[in-house]
Amino acid sequence: MWDNPSLRCLLAITFLHLLSLIYSQETGFPEAPENLKCITHDLNRMICSWDATSSANLGLTYKICYTNSEHFSLVCIETEGKRADIPVTVGSTNIRITTLNASGTSLATETFVLSEENVSLIPLTPQILNLSADFSTYTLYLKWNDSGSVFQYELDASWQIQILRKETLETVALMNYDSKLTGKDSILSWNWTSDIPLECTSYYVKIRCYINEPYFTGRKEWSEWSPIRTVPEKDTKPNSAMVFPQDKVVLVGSNVTFCCLYNEGESIKFMNYGSKSYPLLRLNKWSSAIKVQNVSASISSGTNVWCLLEPDGLEGTVLFVGYAPDTPQNLNCETRTFITITCSWNPGRATALYRQRQTKYILFERISKENVTCKVDELNKEHYCDFPVHANQKIYNFTLGASNPLGQAESSLLIDVNQRVHLETPVKFTVSTNSSTNAHLSWYIPGNFIQIRLLCQIEISNSNSERQLNVSMAGAENSNYRAWVDALHPYATYTFRVRCSASEHFWRWSKWSEEKKLTTLEAPPARGPAIWRERSPVGETLTVFWKPLLLSEANGIILSHEVSCYSREIMLKAHEVPVPLNSTEIKLGGNDCLISVVAKNRAGSSPPSRITSMDLPSDDVKTELAIAAGNGIYISWHSDPNVTCGYTLKWCISSGSEPCNVDWEMFPSNATDAVIKSALFQPGVRYNFSLYGCKHNGYQLLQNITGYMKELPPKVAPNFTVEETSSDSILVKWEDIPVEDCQGFLKGYILYFAKGEKGSSKTSFTDEENKTEKNITDLTKKSLRILDLQGKTSYRLGLRAYTVGGIGPSKDLYVVTKENSVGLIIAILIPVAVAVVLGVVTSILCYQKREWIKETFYPDIPNPENSKALQFQKNICEGNTALKTLEMNPCTPNSVEVVETQSTVLKIEDTEIISPVADSELPEDGSDPETGSHVVVSYCPPIIEEEISSPPIDEPVGSSQVIYIDIQSMYQPQVNPEEEPEINFVTTAGYKPQMQLPINAMKMESHSPTEEDLDKTAGYRPQANTNVWKLDSPDSPISIQSNNENGSFGSPCSINSRQFLIPPKDYEDSPTHNNTGWSFTNFFQNKPND
Amino acid sequence: MTGDGTEKEEESAGPTADSPTKPLLHSTLAAQNLLVSLVLVQLARPDPNPSAATISQTYNLARLLQANTTKLLNTYLSTQGSPFSDPGFSALGLRWAGVPVATFPFLAWRTMGDSERLARNYGAYATFDAFLQLVWDDQDELCPNCSELLAMLGTARARTRGLLANLTSIMAAMGIPTPPATDPLTSEAAGVGAFEKKCRGYVVCREYHGWVDRTVRDFTLLKAKYPA
C-alpha cells in the first residue's frame, strides 16, 4: 500500500497539514517545549534537549515524534526528561514534542524542523590514561585513548593539551597534537619537556579533542577538557631543602634554570650560580628559581649552585658544564709486538668533564666485529687503546667512538698490520770484538715477527766519523738479533747503537738502543814514518829524524822505532829507539848506507821508510828570500831536471835555548813552489829553509831560503849617532839592527829632522809640522850628511827602520849646529874697512880742498849772507817743509825777545845752528817779519815727550803734540779691514830669513812656485814700500829701541826724519830686525826669534 | 712547633705493636730529626709508666697533625669552587651525620677520666679514618686533577691511622679496652649529590681540624699527668 507514490504524497501533505494545525492550535502554552538543541558525539545519534516550563503539576512527560529517515516512518518515544536520543540525519529532521500530563493528556505540542547545521559535533571528553614524569630530563609523558572506535571510519582528530603549574594553575604551555582516528581505539602518547626541573613546582595536565569531519555540515566543537591530572611526585621526595637540577651535565652556552626547594618555616635569602647572585623567580610558596644564561665551562669539581636559607641552611647542587667530545684526532694504530695493535689519538678539545662524566672511548673493529673499551686518563694529552692482533687477519678497520653525556663523535682508520710495525726499542745491546777491524753486535727485540723481515740500522761513530749500516734480517719471536760490522779502524774507539723497523713496508724506526762503546784491537802501523837525515859537518855521523805517525796510521800505541843501515841489502847496523825520541845518530864510518826506519807497536812493525845517507856536493848555494804568506811561508824554487825523486825542504824551529827541532816536507819532482805551514811558525821570526833535491845517487843542497811567516815592523830603532856637526850640516851614522829585532826584511831607513830643542812638548815627529824626512833605501849606506842647516840651531833628529810589515820605532837625538865664524868675521871687517876708507878719502879731499873749506867755513871775515853752509842748511829746511811725509810743524819757535839793545855777540856755533831755523820758521809762523830791532832766537824743544805730557791747553803746545798724533794717524790706516788680508798674508809669511832658502833646497819635495813667490813677497822690502812701514807698530820693540837710541835729536830736521832718513842699507843690516844665526843680533842674543 | 707543613709523607708514622720503640717520625727536616733524637733519648731512660713515652709521642704526632689540618681545610675549600673557595667561608651550621664533633663542655672535658678521654679520641679518629677515605674518594671523582688535595687527604688518613695505633698502644698499656669497631658510614653515604659531597668533605675537614686541636689539649693533660 505504501509503495504507491501518489498515496505517499497524499499522506505527507495530510501530516504537514496536521502539524501546522497543531502548532497553530497549541502555541502559547507555558508547558510548550522550546529551544531545541541537539549535539552528537559520534555522528550516529544525537542528544536533543529543550527547555519547557515546569508547572506545579509534576509528572509531565514528553512525547517526541520524528520521522525515521531510514524507514520513513514516524517514530515516537516518550521520556520524562527534557532530552531525547535520536539519530543524526543528513538534511533536516522534523521533531514534534508533545508535553503530556500525568494522565497522558497533551498539554502542548511543539514541532521543530532540525536542520543538520543546527547539530553540534562535540567529541567525547578524552580521558588521560597515564601521566608520568622523567625528572632527569624534565619531561612529562602523557597517554590517552583516542576513542577511535566511536566512529566507524577514519577521521582527523586534533588534540589540545594544556600544561599548568603552580598552585595558581598558570598555563605553561598549550600544545596541539593531530592524530587520525582509525575506527579503533588507540592509545596516543605525547611528551613535553619543561624548562625548569619538574621538582621545582607542581605540574598539571588536561586534554580535549576536536573531530574534523568535513562532510558533516553541522557545528564542530572542541570536546570538554579532560579532568586535570597532576604530575606525580618524585619517588625520593627530599625531606630537607634541595636545589634542582642535581648534578646535571650541560653544554657550554646552555641556559639553565635552577630552583631551590625549602621547607615550611624556612625562607630563601639569595641564590647563587658560582659566586654570582641571580634574581629569584618565585615558583611557589616553598620554591624559588634562578635563570642562568649562557653558562661557561666549569672547573673539574663543577660549578656550585647554592641557596642560602633562613634561619640557617645552605643547600646546593653542582652543574657540570662542558663540551661534547671532539672528534678523535690523529688516530694512529700500529703494532709493536704483533700481539696487540696500539691505537693512539689526540682527544682534541678538552670536554672539561671528568671521571664518570668524562669521554668514554670504544674501539670497534668492523671486520672482526669486536670492540674494546679503552681506559684513558683524561688528564693525559695522548690517549692509547690496545686491540688484540688476530691470527690470519691482516686488515683492520677501526672505528673509535667517543661519547660523554653531552654527545658523541668518532674516527675511523683502516690499516694493514704488516705495514704498521713500530718495533720496541732494542734492548740487551752488546758489542764485542776479537779483531782490529770487526765487531759483533747483538740485541733483543720483544715480539713475534716471524711473518716479516726486519731492517736494522747500526750507527757506528767515533770522534771524527759517523756512518750507518743497514742490516736486513729475518724476524723471529722474542729473539736476539745479531749483526757483524767490518771495516773498522784498528785501535779505534767506536760508539754503536741500533734501531730497527720492518724491512718490506717501512713504517717507523724504533727508538735507538742504548749506546755501547768498543775499542778495536791493535794492528801493525799502516805505513812507515816520514824520515830525514842530516850529516854532521864532518860527515862521520848521520842524524836520522822521523815524524810520529798519525793516530790513524799508527794503529795502536807506537812503542819504538827501529833504525837500520843497509848497504847493498846487507844490514850493517840496527838499533831500536824507544818512544818518544824521534831522532837518532848513526856513525857512518865513512860508508854511505841506506837508512831504514820501522815503527813498531804491540801488533807488529810498519813497512820500512828508506832514505839514503849520501849527500851530493853542492856549490854556489844561494840564499833567497821567501814571501810571507800570512799563514805560512811561500817558497819557490827553480826546477832541477836532475832531481828525480823529489825535493825536500828542511827547516829548524828553535824554541828557547833547546836545540832546534828539525822539520821537513817532501815534494814531488815536478813541484816548484810550496807554502810551508806550521803551527810553530810565529810572525816576525825569521826561518831558514834548506831545499834538497833528491837525485838518483843522493841528496843535494840546492838552495837556502830565508823567510818570515808574516813580516812585522822592526822591534827596535836603529842605533844612530851624530858623527860631526858644522854650522850648516850634520853627519849621522847608524848601525844595523840585529836580525832578531828586524822582524822582517829590512827595506830601508827614514831619517827625520826638524828644528827643535830638548824638552819640547812635542813627543814624536808625527805631529811635527816642519819636519823633513829622508828615505834611505840603500841598506849598505850607514851614514848621511844633512846639509843646508842653519848655524847655531838646535835640531831634533829621528831614525826609524822599516820592513814590509811597517815602520819601527824611532830614536831621537838633539843636535845644535855650530856658529858661522867666517860670517862673523866678515861682518866685523867690512864696516871697519869701509870706515877707514871713508876716513882716508875724506882726509884726502879735505886736504885737497882745504882752501875752499877754510874760505867757506872759516873765512877770515865771516859773511853770513855768503855762507854756503848756512844756505845749504836753509835749503834743506825749505825742502823739509816741502816734504809731505809728515804734516807737522816740528819747530814751533818760541820767541825770546832780547830787550837790551846792546846785543851780545853770539857765538858762531849758535848762529850757525839756530839762525837759519829762525829764518825758515818765521814766514810760516806768521809773526812780524820786521823784527830787526829784536833779536829773536827760535829753538826746537829737545825732548818731545815733555811737550806731550804737558796739558794740551794752549795752541803752541797743541801743535807740538801733532807729532805724536800724526805718527798715530800713520798707523791707524793699518786697521783698515780692506788691507787686512794683506796684513795677514804678510804676518803669516812674516819676514823670512834668507837662510831658509838653502834649507828648503834640501827638502825632499821641491818647492812649489807659489811658495817661492811667497818667500819673495815675504822677504826683505825696501823702505820705499810704505806697507812694510805700516807694519811697524809704534810700540813694537823695534820702534822703542830706535826711539831710545835716538832719544835726543841734534836738529829739528832729524826729529822729522828720524825714521825716513835711515838709509835702506842700514835698515837691512839692522841687527834688531834680523834673526838669522849669523846676524848681529845673534851675536849678542843666541836664541832664535821664532 | 714540630712541623711546619712542609715535611715529607710518612706512611709509617705511628709505632707498631711489635716495635714500640720505633721512632715516630721520619723527616728530612732538622727539627724533626731533633725530635726523633729527643724521643730516643727519652726512650732510653728507665720509664716508670710504660705508656708515658707513647703519650709524649702521640702528643708530638698530634702537634704535627695540627699544623697540617689547617692547610688541609684551606686546600680543600680552595678546590671546591664558590662558596667554599670564597675568602672567609664558614658554614658552622653545616653538619654531617656521623662526623664526630669536637666541641664539648669544658668542665666535662676537664674532669673526664683517662679511659673515657682516650676512648673518645679513639672513637673519633676511627670515624675520621673512614670519613677521610670517603672524602678522598669523593674528591678523586669530583676533582681528579686536584693532586695536592688528594695527597694531603691521603697523608691525613695515614697519620690518623698512626694516631689510632698510638692510642691503641696507650690504651692497651693502661688496660683500657678499645671500643668495638663499627662502620660509621651508612649506605646513604654513597647516594648523595656532588654538592652534598662537597659539604660533607668540608664538615669532615673542619671537624677533623677541631678534633686534632682537642687531641693536642687531651694529650697536654695526659702528658702532665704521666710525665715521661
- State whether A300 and B199 contact (CB < 8 Å): no
Q: What is the pLDDT of residue A1067?
A: 44
Q: Which of A90, A120, A150 is the last residue of a domain?
A: A120
pLDDT, mean of residues A709-723:
87
* Neighbouring residues of A144: CB distance < 8 A, sequence distance ≥ 6: A126, A127, A128, A129, A159, A187, A188, A207, A226
Candidate ranges A193-202, A495-504, A665-674, A947-956; pick with highest mean pLDDT: A495-504
The ipTM (two decimal places) reads 0.80
Does residue A805 lie within any of the structural domains? yes
**Residue A467 counted as domain residue:** yes
Q: How far is B144 from chain A (nearest CA, A)?
A: 7
d(CA A563, CA B197): 95
C-beta separation of A444 from A428 below 8 A = yes
One-letter amino acid for residue B77 of the chain: L
Distance from CA of B136 to the nearest CA of A (A): 13
Q: Choose one of A370, A392, A419: the last residue of a domain.
A: A419
Structure confidence by residue, pLDDT tens digits, B9-23: 333 333 333 333 333
Domain range holding A407? Answer: 329-419
Q: Which of A334, A337, A342, A336 is nearest to A448 (CA)?
A: A337
Is pLDDT at A21 greater than 50 in this prediction?
Answer: no
In A622-780, DSSP assigns E strands to 622-625, 627-628, 633-636, 647-653, 661-667, 673-676, 686-695, 698-708, 720-725, 730-734, 746-755, 772-776
CA B172, distance to chain mean position in Å, is: 19
Confidence of residue A557 (pLDDT cuts 50, 70, 90): very high
Q: How far is CA A487 from the centre of its chain?
A: 48
Q: Which of B82, B143, B193 sits opposite A317 (nearest CB)?
A: B193
Q: Do A274 and B141 touch (CB under 8 A)?
A: no
Q: Which residue of A has its CA nearest to B86?
A: A275
Q: Is residue A375 part of a domain?
A: yes
At A656 the pLDDT is 66
Interface of A with B in 236-295 (CB under 8 A): 243, 246-247, 272, 274-275
Report the pLDDT value the prediction gives residue A135, as an integer from 0 to 100.
87
Q: Quick check: is A610 in a domain?
A: no
pLDDT of amino acid A982: 41
Is residue A215 domain-shared with residue A282, that is, in the same domain?
Answer: no
Q: In what order do the strands lie in the sheet with A541-546?
A: A531-535, A541-546, A583-587
Residue A1031 has pLDDT above 60, yes or no: no
- Asked if pLDDT for residue A469 goes beyond 90, the answer is yes
Min Cα distance A275 → chain B (Å) is 5
pLDDT at A232: 80
Structure confidence at residue A433 (pLDDT)? 93
Lowest mean pLDDT among A178-182, A194-198, A744-748, A908-912: A908-912
Question: With contacts defined as CB-CB under 8 Å, which chain B residues touch A246?
Answer: 193-195
Set of chain B residues whose Cβ sits within 8 Å of the Cβ of A278: none
A300 touches chain B (CB under 8 A): yes
Same domain? A78 vs A148: no
Instruction: Tell me what the mean pLDDT of segment B204-208 comes to.
Output: 95
Cβ of A317 within 8 Å of Cβ of B195? The answer is yes
Residue A480 has pLDDT above 90, yes or no: yes
For chain B, say whether A303 makes contact (Cβ under 8 Å).
Answer: yes
Residues A740 and A803 in one domain: yes
Contacts of A556 (CB under 8 A, 6+ apart): A490, A491, A522, A523, A524, A525, A601, A602, A603
Question: B interface mutation test: which of A301, A319, A321 has the most B CBs within 10 A?
Answer: A301
pLDDT at residue A885 greater than cutoff 60: no
Q: Which residues of B touch A298 (CB under 8 A)?
A: 81
Residue A301 touches partner B, C-beta closer than 8 Å = yes
User: Cell numbers 854532521 correspond to what residue?
Assistant: A536
Minimal C-alpha gap between B11 and chain A (Å): 26
Q: Is pLDDT larger for residue A660 or for residue B56?
A: B56
DSSP 8-state code for residue A214: T
SS3 (DSSP) at A1010: helix
Average the pLDDT over A133-160 and give the result. Answer: 90
Q: How far is A300 from chain B (nearest CA, A)?
A: 5
Nearest to A275 among B86, B143, B146 (CB): B86
Candidate from A313, A320, A354 with C-beta closest to B93: A313
Q: Nearest by CB to A301, from B83, B91, B143: name it.
A: B143
Residues of chain B with Cβ-Cβ distance to A304 below 8 Å are: 80-84, 195, 198
Mutate to test the interface with A, among B76, B77, B82, B195 (most CBs of A within 10 A): B195
Beta pairing partners, A545: A532, A583
Band of residue B29 on the pLDDT scale cut at 50, 70, 90? very low
Q: Can you tell me the mean pLDDT for B119-142?
A: 93
pLDDT at A43: 86
pLDDT more than 90, % of chain A: 33
- Higher pLDDT among residues A455 and A1044, named by residue: A455
How far does Cα A299 stand from its chain's mean position? 41
CB A1043 within 8 A of CB A1082: no
What pLDDT score was predicted for residue A816? 84
Distance CA(A863)–CA(B103), nearest Å, equals 164
- Residue A708 bridge partners (DSSP): A686
Q: Chain B: which residues have CB within 8 Å of chain A?
A: 79-84, 86, 91, 93-94, 139-146, 193-195, 198-199
**Whether the predicted pLDDT of A1003 surpasses 80:** no
Nearest to A314 among B91, B142, B194 (CB): B91
Residues of A in contact with B80 (CB under 8 A): 301, 304
The Cα B228–Cα B226 span in angstroms is 6
Report the chain A residue with the minimal C-alpha distance to residue B195: A317
Cα separation of A9 and A918, whole Å?
202
Task: Tell how many helices (H) and how many strands (E) occur in chain A.
Answer: 17, 63
Q: Which residue of B has its CA nearest to A245?
A: B193
Of B82, B142, B194, nearest to A274 by CB-CB distance is B82
What's the pLDDT at A411?
Answer: 95
Q: Which residues of A touch B84 (CB under 8 A)?
A: 304
Q: Pick from A272, A298, A313: which is nearest to B83 by CB?
A: A272
Contact between chains at A318 and B194 (C-beta distance less than 8 A): yes
Q: What is the dihedral of CA A408, A414, A415, A416, to 10 degrees?
A: 140
- Angle value at C-alpha A929, between A926 and A930, nearest 5 degrees: 150
Q: Quick one: three-class SS letters along A1038-1086? A: HHHHHHHHCCCCCCHHHHHCCCCCCCHHHHHCCHHHCCCCCCHHHHHCC
**SS3 for A502?**
strand
Which chain B residue's Cα is nearest to A356? B141
Establish if A282 belongs to a structural domain: yes
Instruction: Give the pLDDT confidence score for residue A56 in this predicted structure.
Output: 55
Alpha carbon of B53: minimum distance to chain A alpha carbons (Å): 44
Residue A427 pLDDT level (bands cut at 50, 70, 90): very high
Q: CA-nearest residue of chain B to A317?
A: B195
Give the residue from B77, B78, B82 with the most A CB atoms within 10 Å of its CB, the best one to mutate. Answer: B82
Whether residues B143 and A312 touch (CB distance < 8 A) is answered with: no
What contacts A622, CB < 8 A, 6 or more positions away?
A703, A704
Contact between B83 and A304 using a beta-carbon 8 Å cutoff: yes
Query: pLDDT tens-digit profile of A915-946?
Result: 444 344 444 444 444 444 444 444 444 444 44
Q: ∠ CA A727-A730-A735 to the nearest 5 degrees? A: 160
Distance set, CA A488 to CA A466, A467, B82 (Å):
11, 11, 71
CA–CA distance, A856 with A976 (Å, rounded to integer) = 52
Assigned domain for A161 exists: yes
A216 and A311 belong to one structural domain: no
**A1082 — pLDDT class (breaks 50, 70, 90):** very low
Q: Are residues A86 and A149 in the same domain?
A: no
Flag if B83 and A300 touch (Cβ within 8 Å). no
Sort out which chain B residues have CB atoms less than 8 A from A312's CB and list them: 93
What does the alpha-carbon distance between residue A378 and residue A354 come to, in Å, rounded to a whole number? 7
- Residue A480: count of CB within 10 angstroms of its CB: 12
Looking at the fold, whether A223 and A141 belong to one and the same domain comes out as yes
A59: left (phi over 0), alpha (psi -120 to 50) or beta: left
- Which of these three, A185, A204, A230, is where a domain ends? A230
Report residue A191's pLDDT band, with 50, 70 and 90 as the boundaries: very high
- The predicted model gives B192-219 an average pLDDT of 94
* In contact, A414 and A397? CB cutoff 8 Å: yes
Nearest-CA neighbor of A456 among A466, A470, A441?
A470
Q: Which of A489, A501, A596 is nearest to A551 (CA)?
A: A489
Q: pLDDT value at position A788?
A: 81
**Beta carbons of B195 and A354 less than 8 Å apart:** no
Tell me the count of A-B CB pairs closer than 8 A.
77
**Alpha carbon of B44: minimum distance to chain A alpha carbons (Å):** 50
What pLDDT shows up at residue A50? 85
Report the share of chain A in percent with pLDDT over 70: 74
Structural domain includes residue A562 = no
Q: Which residues, at least 6 apart from A431, have a Cβ–Cβ distance to it below 8 Å?
A: A439, A440, A441, A496, A516, A517, A518
A227 or B41, greater pLDDT = A227
The pLDDT mean for chain A works out to: 78
Section A348-364 average pLDDT: 92
- Does the beta carbon of A306 lie under 8 angstroms from any beta carbon of chain B? yes
CB contact (8 A) between residue B144 and residue A354: yes
Together in a domain, A409 and A433: no
Q: What is the pLDDT of residue A726?
A: 83
Q: Do A380 and A475 lie in a common domain? A: no
Q: Is the pLDDT of residue B206 over 60?
A: yes
Are B154 and B136 in contact by the 8 Å Cβ rule? The answer is: yes
Between chains, do A306 and B91 touch, taking CB under 8 Å as contact?
no
State the CATH number of the domain containing residue A370.
2.60.40.10
Q: Give the minimum alpha-carbon distance from A457 to chain B in angstroms, rounded to a whole number.
A: 42
Cβ distance A301 to B80 less than 8 Å, yes or no, reads yes
Cα angle, residue B164 at apex, residues B162 and B166 outer, rounded to 5°: 70
Per-residue confidence (pLDDT) for residue A898, from 0 to 100: 55
Among A211-225, A385-399, A864-878, A949-963, where is mean pLDDT lowest? A949-963
How many Å apart are CA B192 and CA A1060, to the nearest integer? Answer: 137
Residues A266 and A359 in one domain: no
> pLDDT for A233-279, tens place per residue?
775 556 677 898 989 999 999 999 999 988 888 889 999 999 999 99
CB–CB of A746/A782 below 8 Å?
Answer: no
- For residues A589-610, give the mean pLDDT: 89
Strands, E, within A18-154: which ranges? 34-40, 45-51, 61-68, 73-79, 83-87, 92-100, 106-115, 119-121, 128-134, 139-145
Top mean pLDDT of A114-123, A504-513, A1000-1009 is at: A504-513
**pLDDT at residue A6, as a whole number:** 53
Mean pLDDT of A475-503: 93
For the ranges A517-526, A824-833, B186-195, the maximum mean pLDDT occurs at A517-526
Residues of chain B with Cβ-Cβ distance to A315 below 8 Å are 195
Nearest CA in chain B to A309: B93
Asked if residue A298 has pLDDT above 60, the reply is yes
What radius of gyration do chain B's Cα atoms show? 18
From B79, which residue of chain A is nearest by alpha-carbon distance? A301
The total of structural domains in chain A comes to 6
Structural domain includes residue A199: yes
- The pTM assigned to this predicted structure is 0.58
